[in-house]
Structure 1
């Protein structure tokens, strides 16, 4: 259930965390290449951070910017724009950093001048340093999925960690990085690889339901239990780790699924009742306290809200969070992601746009050709999407120009959702919220299979756009989405010379 969300959301951004009297950190930088209007940076709050809790600095015409942050601890500060990370600074209180960012260079895109310059460069070369560059626990476990010997799994993870840390140890020995710099990197790498070990255990737990697990229950329980003994969730070191949220989430899963023995049937029931997020927060309240709980609660709400599934339950939990933490520094970061959910539910009360037409033949439309029957169009621009697909929903922002283009060429708009039956209500609500004008159908199992065959890969990537004739035969298999309207127009012209 949650594993798929982890994979889908690989495009999600890295968060930063800090490691005493508060002192100012100054970052002066220059961006060359394509210069964004602003540059975002993660903020240390209560000694811990999250990728969604950011501030921004204005860039001038020459790409110059300056950032000032007060912190009493050495910390990670990630510089990014629209969830695209340029690089990470390991910043110490009272220090000044000069940063050069080249948005168009193939290599050397991010350079930091400071007394820890060599360490900064080395850390930014680590391939799994953050989620944006492919550094999630689940990614790290891919090479271990077929391993069946617990001691070998632990040895491989420990060896990778030690190999990475060894280079920083040499820099420390040569006095090219500070002790605080080294300590933060060491903590970061330690919790990352322990998190990967816990993730591997969780994946095997999920696979055991289909008897596809490589590790036995005894083995994955041993792997899972061990990390929380050697690296407990309440350790001060974890509060300095950028993996706090995900490591803690893995711990809460362990408590619920292994220690308490909560069944998948019970969890499915929470989903059906629209109370899964309330359940997860209540579970966190049983095992966390103080700043850890406040941070996890806020980070959870942010993470689930940016998935844009628009669950009304999140509004209730946000109001509850404000009552429980009336002076929380996290509240103003949560408000912007909760407001769209409120708007979504207000939109549901409005009359349905008559140009949004749901096709009532989900059971009989088993092929793409079946969908086009009786629609009376000459050509169809087909958008394959799902309510859980973030990139799909990003494309909808550009639909006004899309509809104008299709109308000028006499092409009919068709949306095919690959959502399962249990998301039927949410599918229709999202079509209304995003004002998706055109014909809509939710694919049954046979139509879903037909789409994957046409795509040419069972791991079908969405959004996927293609053009068919009046009979549903594909004319052009890959088309741009509405966000690339000029290229799409060119493609349509080529298809209709």
Structure 2
């Protein structure tokens, strides 16, 4: 997961209502090391914890902060900054937690002092505790089992891993170190996470079956997939408390769509071409979800797709639809900040294109980087390899003003090479306009793409990738910093 730098400093009407009640959960924090401008924390609306639905608080100059929230039941609250998790607190009504955060020490960086602190410490050792810990989505975890050819064996291995993880909490419960509510919350979350892994393994085998690369046969992966929703249905209200609710339900909808209803993937591709894939996905969700679960999924879907910064206009329509269908929803305030940039993106398209943006024509004749650059102005070239679907690539664009000033002082030319396929040409043109990317632009054909991967040294080329060439397109420096590390980049260019 990836990934982002959005800070939501919004006081929700829902939250304001809660303040008239007793603030029955208190988190008192102390930060050592570099003090961030804000601490974001997930708000337990109806006991739900989702990485995007957050409030923020500003630590004082000494690193002290205090969070007061209301929840009638045990729930997770994750503390983070710019989508980087510090740690998770499992909170229960009428309790106080003292949090220590060390932003510079890799060890003991997050500690919860409370009567259940052993349980807090054990839970925070779990790398897959939520989406933004960076270590464990369903898909990344299932790589361990990709070569299993019998679903029962894969299931057994995953179940064994789950049991090992739960065993420590079972002992803490037995010792009365944690409460039954604490244990049940963790157990439910871990149960659903590992069932989600099984569903992901089945889905991956389904996807690669078209290339006959699947380890599990269709019979095996269908059996594995079907079984998880029998034992752990999406209708179980305990699932709502898990940070993995959204992704588990997403897997459930995939199963129904691709296996039960057998919707052809070409149909979904056509929805995508028409700019209607998100509308289709929400309409399909409405067939299988209802009530609070549908409201939560609908809101989480819009948020998750919006922060990918693909700026689909369709999401604006869906947001308006959500507001109409859930006029008093507590989630609306979380969605507004991520929809505003999409509105701005499409408004920008009506403005004239910056004359410093240059598109290179006849790119079909380019077989290599040298071919592409020899047609330009005969200077040294700072080359940015990117794609419209690459979040980190777009994050770098925020610091482009400093980059252009530096390149001008060095008499170097800016060149952007996109590895987007033909079906994303429209998005490519729109994003160049929106981010105001001054310089020369090339969208790589297959041969140029292959040459880039050979120069990079791997078929799984990592982007953004920045390098420097001479006037003839020969690479002088193969790895350079991006504009977000402008001081380091300047040192690298001075060494040239």
Please list every run of 5 or more consecutive structure 1 residues that lacks an aligned counterpart in the other structure: 1-8, 14-20
Please list every run of 5 or more consecutive structure 2 residues that lacks an aligned counterpart in the other structure: 6-20
8 Å CA contact 1:270–1:279 kept in 2: the answer is yes
Match of 1:383 in 2: 384
Distance 1:22-1:253 versus aligned 2 partners, 3 A rule: farther
3-state secondary structure, aligned to 1:363 = helix
Match of 1:371 in 2: 372
Match of 2:169 in 1: 168
1:441 matched to 2:410? The reply is: no
Whole-Å separation in 2 of the counterparts to 1:376 and 1:476: 19
8 Å CA contact 2:369–2:452 kept in 1: the answer is yes
State the 1:49 CA deviation.
2.7
State the 1:418 CA deviation.
0.5
State the 1:278 CA deviation.
0.3
3-state secondary structure, aligned to 1:452 = helix
8 Å CA contact 2:387–2:393 kept in 1: the answer is yes
Match of 1:309 in 2: 310
3-state secondary structure, aligned to 1:26 = strand
8 Å CA contact 2:419–2:443 kept in 1: the answer is yes
3-state secondary structure, aligned to 1:101 = strand
Match of 1:396 in 2: 397
Match of 2:185 in 1: 184
1:118 matched to 2:118? The reply is: yes
3-state secondary structure, aligned to 2:156 = helix
State the 1:374 CA deviation.
2.4
Match of 1:18 in 2: none
Whole-Å separation in 1 of the counterparts to 2:152 and 2:435: 51
8 Å CA contact 1:22–1:93 kept in 2: the answer is no
Distance 1:400-1:268 versus aligned 2 partners, 3 A rule: same
Whole-Å separation in 1 of the counterparts to 2:4 and 2:434: 23
Superposition pairs of residues 397-416 of structure 1, within 5 angstroms: 397-416=398-417
Match of 2:84 in 1: 84
TM-score between both structures, scaled by the size of structure 2: 0.95
Match of 1:17 in 2: none
3-state secondary structure, aligned to 1:27 = strand
Aligned residues, how many?
480
TM-score between both structures, scaled by the size of structure 1: 0.95
8 Å CA contact 2:3–2:392 kept in 1: the answer is no
Output one character per residue of 1:402-424: Cα deviation in whole Å (capped at 9) or x when no partner: 00000011000000000000000
Output one character per residue of 1:40-64: Cα deviation in whole Å (capped at 9) or x when no partner: 0001112323111000111011100
CA RMSD of aligned residues (A): 1.2
State the 1:362 CA deviation.
2.1
1:453 matched to 2:454? The reply is: yes
Distance 1:70-1:100 versus aligned 2 partners, 3 A rule: same
Match of 2:52 in 1: 52
Match of 1:6 in 2: none
Superposition pairs of residues 101-250 of structure 1, within 5 angstroms: 101-131=101-131, 132-250=133-251
Whole-Å separation in 1 of the counterparts to 2:410 and 2:240: 57
Whole-Å separation in 2 of the counterparts to 1:188 and 1:295: 17
